[in-house]
Amino acid sequence: MAPAETWNALVLGGGDPGDPFAAAHGVKVKPQIQLEGRPMAGYVLQALRDSGRVAQVAYVGPVPDGQDAGVDLRLTDHGSLLANLEGGARALAEHSGTPHMLVVTADIPLITAQMVQDVLDSAPDAGLVYPIVRREVCEAAYPGVKRTYARLQDGTFTGGNLFLLDARLISRVLPRLREVLATRKQPLKLASLIGYGVLLRLLLGQLSIQQLETRVSALLEVPARALITEHAAIGTDVDKDGDLELVTRVLSARGGPASR
């Protein structure tokens, strides 16, 4: 994508109101947890705004106190990623002419404006772009960090907590995603959908990024590309107390909200 292009952002800030992790920290949903004097989601919202590349921000879920200025559209959490994607794309399309949509979770408080710029500036021209981070990059940036990794021919990677989507293609993508999700607990059906050979090579670490891109593109019926990013923060979300301790330590070293 050309650097001059403007994007809309859909921030996923909802969650299960009964989430024990959020409840343990005195809030209804995880993005409301306070970090260095600011809700977790606030760091994500400021990174988007300060990037200078985002026209409209839609926020799914309850907007944390004090963060209204960073949100253009407040959307109800419909309880599933697909429903929120569909509702967010529709709402953003009504308020902005750009089809470029950046979808980001509200639980990656280590993201910065520069990281947002770098991802958008380096994104290949595709209907769906998914950033991935090398394991060694994550472990060098945050020693001891615990993430889920996948081994490919090109290296070992963790997935990012954001992705780029051409909103004009969402009506094509969603039915296929629903089909995949509907079979996620039925291994044989899922394997037949993905392809037995592809799945076996993936499990054995014998699949390349290019082969995976080709299969995902065929499966979703849109051009899909991976983007290797050097920003470990994009693959570092907060799911447990150990993650919370990590991001608190990093934010404190940066100087907290004032340094942002």
Task: For the chain, give every domain's residue range.
Answer: 7-259
- Looking at domain 7-259, its CATH class is alpha beta
Is-contact 221 3, C-beta < 8 A? Answer: no
pTM summary value: 0.91
At residue 205's C-alpha, the angle toward residues 142 and 180, to 5°, is 90
Q: What is the pLDDT of residues 110-168, one digit of tens each?
A: 999 999 999 999 999 999 999 999 999 999 999 988 899 999 999 999 999 999 999 99
- Residue-wise pLDDT tens digits, 176-211: 888 877 776 677 777 788 888 888 888 899 999 999
Cα of 6 vs its chain's centroid, Å: 18
| Residue 58 predicted with pLDDT over 90 | yes
Alpha-carbon 68 to chain mean position: 21
